[in-house]
Amino acid sequence: MDTSPIVAVASSAGDPDAVSELLCALPAECRAAFIIVQHLDSRREKLLFEALGERTILPVIHAQDGAVVEQDHVYVITANTTLRVTGGRIRVTPNPGGLHHPGDILFTSLAKERGHSAIGVVLSGEGSDGALGIQALEQGGGATLAQYPGSARFPSMPISAIETGCVGFVLRPNEIARELARLTAPPAGVARCALIIDDNAGLSRGRIMASQSSKAGGTPLRREPALAYHGDSSDPTVGTAV
């Protein structure tokens, strides 16, 4: 089975800036395929595609059924569809209607497809899409990240993901980009992080304790049922409640 990393990103069509910021900040050494899913209608599909193409040097492609997932490419969901990854290929199906959770569907399929090489990112968005899928990714050994809610235009999706206790990293989009570069680097003495959070702090800044491991995959993340931020502490807004 192919074990090259695939990064799945779930966000809201109402806030394209978060995805754009992440892609723009990706270091050159970040070697992975990216699949972007949003709750899109036909009016916003072209706007998202064009916005992402302007912010990254990576090829930005509409996700097509049967397409082989290639490293250093960005695949974007089309309107009124859901995406899965099976056998190294993208599978596109029409949205059946009703409650649409493309993030959960993609994350869950990726957890089965890639296991430890699957990475899920939940960015700014309304609702709770991605929360169930984040749990599947964590249970499958994948990496999980969410946008720091204080930096999100729509914090509901990141908060819902964080509250599952299955998010390993809570960062701003540009910081997520740097963490993705670390996570997708070839394993050689991998540093893993444990989230240590004061249960009484609510939505506050936590401490990230790094431990070194000579084993591929490192040590498991400690999970605590609270929200925290790990990133640039020079920002005076860090640690404030949403």
Catalytic residues: 12, 39, 129
Q: Which two tokens stand for residue 221?
A: 């993340």
Q: Which two tokens stand for residue 37?
A: 């899913």
The DSSP secondary-structure symbol of 147 reads E
DSSP string, 121-132: EE-S-SS-TTHH
Beta bridge partners of 36: 9, 76
- Rounded Cα distance between 93 and 80, Å, is 9
- Rounded Cα distance between 236 and 91, Å, is 44
Q: For 215-241, b where at least 16 C-beta lie within 10 A, e where not — what string?
A: eeebeebeeeebbbbbbeeeeeebbee
Q: Which two tokens stand for residue 222?
A: 């400690």
